[in-house]
Structure 1
Amino acid sequence: MNLMPESYQAQVRRLLSRRTLLARGATGLGTAALASLAGDRSLSPSLASAAAIPELPHHEPKAKRAIYLFMSGAPSQIDMWDHKPKMSEWFDKDLPDTIRMGQRLTTMTSGQARFPVAPSRYKFAPHGQSGTMVSELLPHTAKHVDDLALIRSMHTEAINHDPAITYICTGDQLPGKASLGSWLSYGLGSENENLPAFLVMTASWTGRKEAQALYNRLWGSGFLPTKYQGVSLRSSGDPVLYLSNPKGVSREVRRQMLDALAAMNQDTSRAIGDPQTQARIEQYEMAFRMQTSVPELADISDEPQHVLDMYGPDVTTPGTFAHCCLMSRRMAERGVRFTQIFHRGWDQHGSLPRDLPNQCRDIDQPCSALIKDLKQRGMFDDTLVVWGGEFGRTIYCQGKLTKDTYGRDHHPKCFSVWLTGAGIKGGTVHGTTDEFSYNIVNDPVHIRDLNATILHLMGIDSDRFTYAFKGLDQRLTGIEGGHVVNPILS
């Protein structure tokens, strides 16, 4: 009797066929890699097709690639995207119990005697033909509202940063699951055999001095083979750690070393059949090719001045959000399947009027420029761009409230994200919240639904996209599953 799940059998067949291919010899691997660098496609096997699952895509994809602009720390939807004009009448009045309804609070405000309402001090205005209300903090992004689908009814169960970020990036509050980018890398592979399918950047910020830590599990592969994890690009030194050869080691010597190492790994693979051994072989080969492809990617000297001006004055400084956005466009051009930029510093528990404008200045013009740039290059219609954080902020003030300063605590009950580009219905506002931006009134969207929608746009049915691990068919959207947010799709 056959007790193995069909999906596990399929994985074994893929691994065995790949092992057979690689077992033809380490020299063959080296020849293929060098042929690729020389531009000889006849000798170079397509790593994109080798990495992708044959059953995918499940349907015709709208997006070939995706760029995720992640605002780590949770931006305040009340001050940026969710206009609540009636709150001006509630300044320093207590949030009604009928609104809070005994909902969970963090330990940072659960001991407060009062929950004074802190209306946004920033002006909102309608923009575009859609008339979408946007804060004065985002004048550049506001010009693109007719390209955006704004979801105001996002929600999550997580109320603290680490589990919340882990949840939205990997589908689970507990570490150990595969990230969204790793799932896409595993399922769809890369369009460029000389670059990873999944690249990550962490941008500097000019808001508060402290920021929540980011862990590599947010772009890790979890239970998937390690070759699908995100590759992090650095803002100083080698763009990728150990990209350069050590002193005294030429490229030819490095090639010989990799061939010898591949031969030893092949012996190990034949002896024990560990899939991770094959992953290591492929990672070493990718690293060798990246010695040529990554420096070319990181060199923006070929960018026209009008493009640099579009992204703003920080674009030539590596590590800034503007530079990361330009790099994400360059990655998209070169076939990188999924790029994720983490911008930290959005955790404004105090001094929000001082820190939030700085954060918005960091990201506003570059976000606008990225959209323009994709359009100018004919890439907007097949590139998905997502902007958002892990949860929202409270309407009530954390600590002392004055007219000039206030802070906001974590709020998982509702927050805002936007999507644009491939398959997105521009000028759409989906979901509404109550007058306090505290509870969702209609059209709730869980973070699982957001991830299901991203996968759908990439041609993947989240319910059918699984990986056998620990006796379960794991999926990004968990056992609960996610629902595609169809009203925001074109």
Structure 2
Amino acid sequence: MFPELVPGSPSRRELLKAVSCGFGYAALAGLATEAAAADARNGNPLSPRPPHFAARARRVIFLCMRGGPSHVDTFDHKPQLMADDGQPVSGKKGRKLMGSPWKFSPRGESGLEISELFPEVARHVDDLCVLNGMYADVPTHPECFVQLHTGSFQFVRPSMGAWVLYGLGTENANLPGFITLNPPSRVGGAQNYGSAFLPAVYQGTRIGQLGRPLKQATVGNLDNPRLSPASQRRQLDFVQSLNRELLQQRPSDGQLEGVIESYELAFRMQAELPQVLDTAGESQSTLETYGVGVKATDDFGRQCLLARRLAEAGGRFIELSHANWDQHGGLRKRLPANCAAVDRPIAALLADLKQRDMLKDTLVVWGGEFGRTPHVKKQDGRDHNATGFTFWMAGGGVKGGIAHGATDPHGIEAVAGKVHFHDLHATMLHLLGIDHQRLTYRYGGRDFRLTDVRGQVVHDILT
């Protein structure tokens, strides 16, 4: 696209590539690209934009439990399943119903029944809006996980975080607006936080990778250790001067304006992002509350603490990941371990947000790609179940202390208050002040949206 600067010299593209390597993956992975500016508004595609109507929430923290947590053992109490424990399942040869091995008890003023597997989260039950009528289209991990994140498993579509950033912009010009902590490399990989056909400026910034300790995670190429900040600034000024010369020749080139802003943002992130990710200034009491330093809770505790810090710093969409909840076997051992790893950190996050008066405008969402069957084939495991499962929300304009929707008496299928992923997305956007039918992007001759041609806002759960 760019002509050579002088005969025999490196091309403009080669020069930009060479000097940009120190500006950081955190920014350049989603920013330093010509396509990122295709939808630039006033030269800055990330500038804050007003919502369609008054927003209840300013940001989203999504607690993603990969693998499919068992709803009938955690948040969806099924007395009839307990009563029918051991009974054969009609039409399911060799399968028997298995009641939950764990006790459910009414908690808080609301009296919602929560499993003993979540004793700390249960203390916040009056802030939880439990969606027991969730359902999805297919009971397979890659398809359902991608549908949860993008609204579709058949085509490559932008992730929900990318749509949120596209719709609202960022509140902090020096930080990524969409960050994903320890995302899985499988079940769709980068597609789950990508921008697809949206400008690449809206894709998520990955920090860490699922299965590796977050405390060891680094942001690749955040700066160039061989050059001082002053030297990097001089390099960038040189490149930007060339860009601005070209812009004078193409004053209506919105793409080039966006490239200029993208490089500036990448440079600014070098100073602020490490400060936000550095938890050394947190008190020992705070670290202990989140479970940092305790083997079972350290990793997810660090994720939850960083989520609060990123939210404070202006993050728009922050996703945390935990795995593996795919208990086809070893349920009695593995499910308690999973719950123990996230229970204390999640409770600490909710309490911390509330204490800082942030829960009211932070939408916290918990769930996985599907639930588990109430029947078992092996002696101690549950299979995939996409026809009925549980999510919960807290803060951000949802009613607390309520259960919306229901599965049948055994927990197999959603039968009341059904909420599809499209409905979940529509409701999330609504709480952020976005009309999901108006948040569109034209590509390939038609308008696309996160909810595609479906999706209904679940008004019954809104404050």
TM-score range, shorter chain: 0.7 to 0.9
Alpha-carbon distance, 1:55 to partner: 7.1
Q: Which residue of 1 aligns with 2:340?
A: 361
Q: Secondary structure of 1:385's match?
A: strand
d(CA) in 1 for partners of 2:257 and 2:172? 20
Q: Is residue 2:462 matched to residue 1:484? A: no
- CA change 1:134–1:165 in 2 (3 A) is same
Structure 1, gaps ≥5 residues long: 1-25, 27-32, 34-46, 98-111, 205-210
Alpha-carbon distance, 1:150 to partner: 0.3
Alpha-carbon distance, 1:244 to partner: 2.5
Structure 1 letter corresponding to 2:457: V
Alpha-carbon distance, 1:281 to partner: 3.9
Alpha-carbon distance, 1:422 to partner: 1.5
- CA change 1:260–1:57 in 2 (3 A) is same
d(CA) in 1 for partners of 2:223 and 2:49? 37
Alpha-carbon distance, 1:129 to partner: 1.1
Q: Is residue 2:156 matched to residue 1:156? A: no
Deviations 1:221-276 (A, max 9, x none): 111111111111233566311013142x1212212222333455567776798866
Given that 1:129 and 1:146 are in contact with CA atoms closer than 8 Å, whether structure 2 keeps it comes out as yes
Structure 2, gaps ≥5 residues long: 1-15, 17-22, 24-40, 209-213
Q: Which residue of 1 aligns with 2:89?
A: 95
Q: Secondary structure of 1:150's match?
A: strand
Structure 1 letter corresponding to 2:326: D
Q: Give the RMSD, CA atoms, in angstroms.
A: 2.9
Alignment coverage as a number of residue pairs: 421
Q: Which residue of 1 aligns with 2:70?
A: 76
Q: Is residue 2:396 matched to residue 1:422? A: yes
- CA change 1:390–1:137 in 2 (3 A) is same
Alpha-carbon distance, 1:175 to partner: 4.6
Normalising by structure 2, we get a TM-score of 0.84
Alpha-carbon distance, 1:298 to partner: 1.3
d(CA) in 1 for partners of 2:438 and 2:70? 35
Given that 1:151 and 1:430 are in contact with CA atoms closer than 8 Å, whether structure 2 keeps it comes out as yes
Deviates more, 1:455-464 or 1:314-323: 314-323
d(CA) in 2 for partners of 1:203 and 1:358? 20
Alpha-carbon distance, 1:66 to partner: 1.1
Q: Which residue of 1 aligns with 2:6?
A: none
Given that 2:43 and 2:254 are in contact with CA atoms closer than 8 Å, whether structure 1 keeps it comes out as no
Q: Is residue 2:190 matched to residue 1:216? A: yes
Q: Is residue 2:460 matched to residue 1:466? A: no
Q: Which residue of 1 aligns with 2:52?
A: 58
d(CA) in 2 for partners of 1:314 and 1:175? 41
Q: Which residue of 1 aligns with 2:229?
A: 251
Q: 1:260 aligns with which of 238, 246, 254?
A: 238
Alpha-carbon distance, 1:433 to partner: 1.1
Given that 1:431 and 1:442 are in contact with CA atoms closer than 8 Å, whether structure 2 keeps it comes out as yes
d(CA) in 2 for partners of 1:158 and 1:135? 27
d(CA) in 2 for partners of 1:331 and 1:48? 26
Given that 2:442 and 2:448 are in contact with CA atoms closer than 8 Å, whether structure 1 keeps it comes out as yes
- CA change 1:474–1:359 in 2 (3 A) is same
Given that 2:159 and 2:193 are in contact with CA atoms closer than 8 Å, whether structure 1 keeps it comes out as yes
d(CA) in 1 for partners of 2:77 and 2:458? 22
Given that 2:398 and 2:462 are in contact with CA atoms closer than 8 Å, whether structure 1 keeps it comes out as yes
Given that 1:51 and 1:188 are in contact with CA atoms closer than 8 Å, whether structure 2 keeps it comes out as no
d(CA) in 2 for partners of 1:281 and 1:470? 27
Q: Which residue of 2 aligns with 1:174?
A: 154
- CA change 1:301–1:280 in 2 (3 A) is same
Given that 2:308 and 2:349 are in contact with CA atoms closer than 8 Å, whether structure 1 keeps it comes out as yes
Q: Secondary structure of 1:244's match?
A: coil
Deviates more, 1:265-274 or 1:151-160: 265-274
Q: After superposition, where does 1:3-402 map in structure 2 within 5 Å?
A: 50-51=44-45, 56-97=50-91, 113-202=93-182, 213=187, 215-234=189-208, 235=214, 239-247=218-226, 249-264=227-242, 279-314=258-293, 320-399=299-378, 401=379
Alpha-carbon distance, 1:116 to partner: 1.5
Given that 1:48 and 1:191 are in contact with CA atoms closer than 8 Å, whether structure 2 keeps it comes out as no
Normalising by structure 1, we get a TM-score of 0.80
